[in-house]
Amino acid sequence: MRLVLASSSPRRRDLLARIGATPDRIASPDVDETVRRGELPRAYVLRVAIDKAHAVAREADEIVLAGDTTIALGRRILAKPEDEADLRRMLALLSGRRHHCLSAVCVIDTQGRARTRISDTVVIFKRLTDAEIDWYVASGEGMGKAGGYAIQGKAESFVRFLSGSHSGVVGLPVFETRAMLETAGYALG
């Protein structure tokens, strides 16, 4: 049985390695991640993970694993920032506030059955000063990241409280992923 990772994220590969899973093949899914009108955060992140898994061709002996992560501030979805101004806006919104990091996983087994799970992690940032926001924006680290921050990097110094899956905030909840791969019959090392 072979594992296909439907992601180009090096963080997801690293997180899989922590549970003894090495993808036999990596495929970058091409899906529309645009938030649909009226779409709520949980439905959004789940839809994108499922779309990513189904966007990758699967051979009969392959399991496909895909994931997606987003930041939810109430009903608002904070996806990847479009530019530095958008990143500043996101950091200002998150400053001193509680938010949810939703990380969805979809596994398609060798029989073609898709299973999904969502990890919901509560994160609270400290109140950020303008200088801290400037420093973080200048680092470039937040570009291309859901909610405009990478918890595994400099932004970890902003986290006052976290309840849930740290790896889920990074991009792949390893507890849920391990359970899903085992259920699909994938032997972890």
Active site residue ranges: 68
3-state helix, strand, coil in the chain (%, to 5): 35, 25, 40
In contact, 65 and 117? CB cutoff 8 Å: no
- Residue type for position 16: L
Q: What is the DSSP string of 23-62?
A: -SEE-------PPPTT--HHHHHHHHHHHHHHTS---TTE
Q: Which residues contact 74 (CB under 8 A, 6 or more apart)?
A: none
